[in-house]
A and B are shown apart, each in its own frame.
Chain A
């Protein structure tokens, strides 16, 4: 067998094994969060209406590097959700899609609630389920922020999923 092909096949098998292990391990691994440099504060009034997005930019650090992360806070039917709007696939921005014609195209008319769509490669994420991956190139769902508290009419976001810091 051609040596190059042999080595490549070995590497491919190794890669598949690692991916399989990662997939098996993923459901049980708790999400690690990292602190923001300063809390993001958004008036509750801005997200009073379900699916009305309030955009923000959060700051953190990773290996001494300053990182800015764009996010969106919105209210679902069950509560508040704060998600990173950077697609985990190739860092393009995702949009919260609420208009019916576009939703129909994205989900074949099956979605009863808004979805996120990547502006570059059209990956689709479930806005009602913490940005979970629904389809497309993305290897995972949207990175999450943690809402620490809602106090005196202000929503305070203090942490972001640690994995986001090296990927966005």
Chain B
């Protein structure tokens, strides 16, 4: 019986493993794709397109005001970009790198960093108003609101699309000054786990501090997450829904005397490494996560105030955005060396980004 179940389940597991979604799980890009990085230039309301083979800024798209997070389904032929000011989400065709349309369907106060199901059907779009909206991309309407008590900010989708992990920030007075649409907001210091098929909350993971950016291992078993007041990241067992480890940056005495925070995290090297930013000290760290607690294996001086980290589809290049110095920096994961740097125009403020393996025009697959 067990063998039969395994046999039946194998293709499903295989398919799930092959799916790459919302910049979470590594998967090699087929030859018929062009790997690109889309990065929000917040101060100019633009989305920059970077060709990753040449590592050149090849195009700039005008999107919504103050662009924030992006999400792309497994098909990789489209990209959704949230705009904080104006409360819209813009759909981009990643094959032609053109804006298709902008959804203005009441995404609430300042839509933030969402994630999308692998099939491209449901976009989990958080709002500062304190909840996540489930946007049905086929019906082009919001079909569900998920309340977390926190300030909606970052979202991680499981590689198989089964669960969405909602990471509300604790927030400060500025965040609480926003309208809540009558819903209470506290500082819950927990991750909310949602069944991404039923769009219902199925659990929470207490993390002890305000959740910050997170990412997930290729097999979906580990969630790695920055939190407030931790110079490093937490390791979460997604099956047990509990924190099982903590990685801490090694800092000099002078660095320890200057308060900083961790913001931006990505899995690299087939899930064996996690890279994470130290904002105020202008550093990025690499950790071996095959051991617990994770072991620091590299540290890099980057640009001013690193903000976000994204990996290439094969997980062997890491990209770090530094909005205060308008830079995007590429690191060779195997060699642990910087391998390129793009300087955006002064004042662009490059922040959130996503790598996409855009298919050739004849390969369009999803709705």
Listed in ascending order, the chain A residues whose CB lies under 8 Å from chain B are: 4-5, 8-9, 11-12, 15-16, 19, 59, 65-70, 86, 89-93, 95, 102, 105, 119-120, 122, 136-139, 167-168
Does B186 reach chain A (CB closer than 8 Å)?
Answer: yes
Interface-lining segment among B156-164, B170-178, B309-317:
B170-178
Distance A5 CA – B324 CA, assembled complex (angstroms): 39
A138 touches B261 (CB 8 A): no
Interface size class of B (residues with CB under 8 A): 20 to 34
Other-chain contact of B280, A16, A19, A89, A92 (Cβ < 8 Å): A92
B305 touches A66 (CB 8 A): no
Does B279 reach chain A (CB closer than 8 Å)?
Answer: yes
Would you list 27 pairs from A and B whose C-beta atoms are within 8 A, ordered by A residue?
A4-B149, A5-B184, A12-B186, A15-B176, A15-B186, A19-B176, A59-B257, A66-B257, A67-B259, A68-B258, A91-B259, A91-B260, A91-B261, A91-B280, A93-B305, A95-B324, A102-B346, A105-B43, A119-B304, A119-B305, A119-B324, A122-B42, A122-B349, A137-B172, A138-B174, A139-B173, A168-B258
Given contacts A119-B305, A139-B174, 20 further A-B contacts (CB under 8 A): A4-B149, A8-B149, A12-B186, A15-B176, A66-B257, A89-B174, A91-B259, A91-B261, A91-B279, A92-B280, A92-B305, A92-B324, A102-B346, A119-B304, A119-B324, A122-B42, A122-B349, A139-B173, A168-B258, A168-B259
Contact partners of A86 in chain B: CB under 8 A: 259, 280
Distance A5 CA – B259 CA, assembled complex (angstroms): 34
Does B323 reach chain A (CB closer than 8 Å)?
Answer: yes
Listed in ascending order, the chain B residues whose CB lies under 8 Å from chain A are: 42-43, 149, 172-176, 184-186, 253-254, 256-261, 279-280, 304-305, 307, 323-324, 346-347, 349
